[in-house]
């Protein structure tokens, strides 16, 4: 039998009679303190912001706030703007735990290992659903988990789109590597799946490689619909800035440049991803940081929405080496 939300708050879940002899009726730990119902509404129902986005874009980020009764309302604010300092501290603590215990290693998407926080996967799927890109350019394939995520979204949405995924090493070659996480032998090999084979083209090389970038640029110019870019190849300031300068020009107006792991500056205690983003945004008004996307109040990435197209094509004529340097 189903329990109402109110009953769950009052009584807890039903007894776990079918879960084995070691389990009994559920009871909260003595030290466990339940949040207020208003707090649960704010945290649990903020996800509605994605479901009611405008037809011409993802925003505004409407968030449900208020007390019990009839005083709840939707307000056009990112959830971060509504949080108190002590609530923001809870999110910061979660982020520290996420890194301390390498929670990204536990991420799975349809059987494949994907090194993402689940909340960002929700934001990314919402971007893809709303933008409906005909081309996604991804730097940093690694084992192909996020590439596979994008491919399955395209397949589910019946999009005739393509993903150009760039990395120095093909995912098959690094599947057994334990560079960031233990090897997941039982995980799906993304490149063997039907969505990958239908939607993904892997390009081997450096993201800032002159000839490779030129080839990707030509593919983007021929795209029949929106172009989205996801940057995850490098996280040091200099190379992130190069990638942003190059690949931002491929993004179509209304679509997104997603820069992964913008939180690393704080963790590393030095200028890195966020600093490169800030530098770039000081040079152009073509992009704005879309904060309304983080309707769960937390994101590890930066979502830059293109609102104008004044940036011209990046000239490779003056590049006299195999890789682009600023």
- Full pLDDT tens readout for the chain, 326 residues: 334 434 433 444 444 333 333 333 333 333 333 344 444 344 343 333 333 333 344 445 566 666 555 555 565 567 777 788 999 999 999 999 999 999 999 999 999 999 999 999 999 999 999 999 999 999 999 999 999 999 999 999 999 999 999 999 999 999 999 999 999 999 999 999 999 999 999 999 999 999 999 999 999 999 999 999 999 999 999 999 999 999 999 999 999 999 999 999 999 999 999 999 999 999 999 999 998 888 888 999 999 999 999 999 999 998 989 999 99
Q: Are 28 and 13 in contact (CB under 8 A)?
A: no
| Rounded-to-integer distance, Cα 8 and Cα 26, Å | 11
Q: 280, 203, 181: which is closest to 240 by C-alpha?
A: 280
Determine, yes or no, domain membership for 26. Answer: no
**How much is the pLDDT for 79?**
77
Determine, yes or no, domain membership for 102. Answer: no
DSSP 36: P
**How much is the pLDDT for 42?**
40
**How much is the pLDDT for 207?**
98
Per the structure, the count of domains in the chain is: 1
- Which residue segment(s) compose the domain that 179 sits in? 109-306
Q: CB-based contacts of 37: which residues, under 8 Å, 6+ apart?
A: 9, 68
Residue 317's Cβ-count burial label (10 Å; 0-12, 13-18, 19+) is: exposed
**How much is the pLDDT for 102?**
94
Determine, yes or no, domain membership for 55. Answer: no
Integer-rounded Cα Rg, in Å, for the chain is 22
Determine, yes or no, domain membership for 63. Answer: no
Determine, yes or no, domain membership for 201. Answer: yes
Count of other CB atoms within 10 angstroms of residue 157: 12
**How much is the pLDDT for 288?**
97
Number of H helices and number of E strands within the chain? 12, 11
| Rounded-to-integer distance, Cα 137 and Cα 217, Å | 10
* CA–CA distances in Å: residue 169 to residues 42, 254, 292: 43, 32, 35
Determine, yes or no, domain membership for 92. Answer: no
**How much is the pLDDT for 186?**
97
| CATH, residue 250 | 3.40.50.150
Q: What DSSP string describes 6-27?
A: HHHHHH-SPP-TTS-TT--S--
* CA–CA distances in Å: residue 108 to residues 105, 124, 152, 191, 260: 9, 15, 13, 15, 18
Determine, yes or no, domain membership for 100. Answer: no
Calculate the CA dihedral of residues 164, 170, 171, 176 and round it to 10 degrees. -170
What pTM did the predictor assign? Answer: 0.79
Determine, yes or no, domain membership for 57. Answer: no
| Rounded-to-integer distance, Cα 292 and Cα 284, Å | 21
Report phi then psi at 152, rounded to 5. Answer: -70, -35
Residue 251 token pair: 């993004």
* Helix (H/G/I), strand (E/B), else coil: 323: strand
């Amino acid at each position: 039998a189903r329990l109402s939300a109110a009953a769950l708050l009052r009584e807890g879940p039903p007894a776990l009679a079918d879960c084995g002899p070691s389990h009994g009726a559920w009871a909260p730990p003595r030290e466990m303190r339940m949040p207020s119902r208003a707090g649960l509404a704010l945290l649990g129902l903020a996800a509605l912001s994605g479901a009611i986005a405008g037809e011409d874009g993802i925003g505004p980020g409407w968030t449900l706030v208020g007390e019990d009764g009839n005083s709840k309302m939707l307000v056009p604010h990112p959830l971060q703007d509504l949080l108190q300092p002590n609530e923001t501290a809870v999110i910061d603590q979660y982020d520290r735990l996420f890194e301390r215990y390498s929670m990204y290693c536990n991420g799975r998407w349809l059987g494949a290992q994907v090194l993402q926080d689940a909340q960002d996967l929700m934001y990314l799927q919402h971007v893809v659903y709303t933008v409906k890109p005909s081309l996604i350019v991804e730097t940093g394939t690694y084992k192909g988990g996020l590439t596979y995520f994008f491919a399955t979204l395209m397949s589910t949405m019946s999009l005739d789109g393509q993903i150009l995924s760039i990395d120095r090493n093909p995912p098959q070659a690094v599947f057994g590597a334990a560079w960031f996480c233990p090897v997941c032998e039982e995980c799906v090999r993304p490149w063997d799946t039907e969505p990958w084979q239908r939607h993904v083209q892997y390009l081997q090389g450096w993201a800032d490689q002159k000839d490779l970038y030129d080839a990707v640029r030509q593919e983007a110019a021929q795209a029949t619909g929106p172009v989205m870019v996801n940057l995850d190849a490098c996280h040091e300031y200099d190379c992130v800035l190069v990638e942003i300068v190059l690949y931002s020009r491929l993004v179509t107006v209304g679509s997104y440049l997603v820069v992964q792991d913008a939180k690393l500056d704080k963790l590393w205690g030095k200028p890195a991803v966020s600093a490169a983003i800030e530098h770039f945004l000081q040079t152009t008004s073509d992009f704005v940081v879309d904060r309304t996307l983080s309707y769960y109040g937390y994101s590890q990435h930066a979502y830059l929405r293109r609102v104008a197209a004044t940036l011209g094509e990046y000239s490779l004529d003056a590049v006299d080496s195999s890789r682009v340097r600023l």
